[in-house]
Amino acid sequence: MRDPKLREIDERAFQRRIGPMLDVYAAAMEPPYEQLPGRHAIMERHASYPGFRALVAERRGALPVRAGPVQGFAYGFHGARGQWWHDVVFQALSAVGDVDHAEAWLADAFEVAELHVHPESQGRGLGRALLNALCEGRPERTVVLSTLDRHPETPARTLYRSVGMVDLLTDFEFPGGGPRYAVMGGTLPLAPYPAPSSSP
């Protein structure tokens, strides 16, 4: 079976793949089924944000593949005031530090909105490849994201730390309830693996 290949896709190609990408999201995150239509709408909206970039890891010519052709995906955009995640995190960072602290991380940030690999393709470096490719050449000063705060040493948080990202918020609950998250940030370009902690 061929390894998935990474491809950068434009907004139109992203819109066509939202269904298969949501299949990967559901397999990796196991959210309540009733949340998926809302996630679909959020992804559609994100594709119109400034500086949008998306990558998919797809298998070609290797069917049948139980998990489907899309094995992983990642996307992000330039964070700006008026965006829900940006404004919520800005307020929280201002509360734990001050406005200057929040500005240091979010004034010129690339926000990684989603990065997921299907469980059947995890453990092969695909998440790292998606993250590196997504952030390569970005003009922003920092990169920020949120990840489930189930444990400080989950594979995802270990990956993010390995490229120089640090915890900005932990045990954080976004408005509306749900699981707790860690908000993490790092400077761009990403540090090569392995990397010490850094701050802007």
C-alpha distance from residue 177 to each of 4, 11, 171, 183 (Å): 35, 30, 12, 16
Q: Would you call 160 a catalytic residue per the annotation?
A: yes
Q: Quick check: is 83 in a domain?
A: yes
Asked if residue 141 belongs to a domain, the reply is yes
CB–CB of 185/86 below 8 Å?
Answer: no
CATH number for 163:
3.40.630.30
pLDDT digits (tens, 9 = 90+) for 171-189: 999 998 889 999 999 999 9
Q: Is 106 inside any structural domain?
A: yes
**Closest listed residue to residue 146, CA positions, set 171, 126, 128:** 171
pLDDT digit string (tens) for 11-67? 999 999 999 999 999 999 999 999 999 999 999 999 999 999 999 999 875 444 455
* Alpha-carbon distances, residue 83 vs 6, 17, 78, 196 (angstroms): 28, 23, 10, 31
Residue 95 lies in a domain: yes
Residue-number span of the structural domain to which 182 is assigned: 5-187
Query: What is the count of structural domains for the chain?
Result: 1
Candidates 25, 75, 160, 181; catalytic one: 160
Cβ pair 183, 173 in contact under 8 A: no
In a domain, 192, yes or no: no
Most distant CA pair in the chain: distance in Å? Answer: 53
Confidence of residue 83 (pLDDT cuts 50, 70, 90): very high
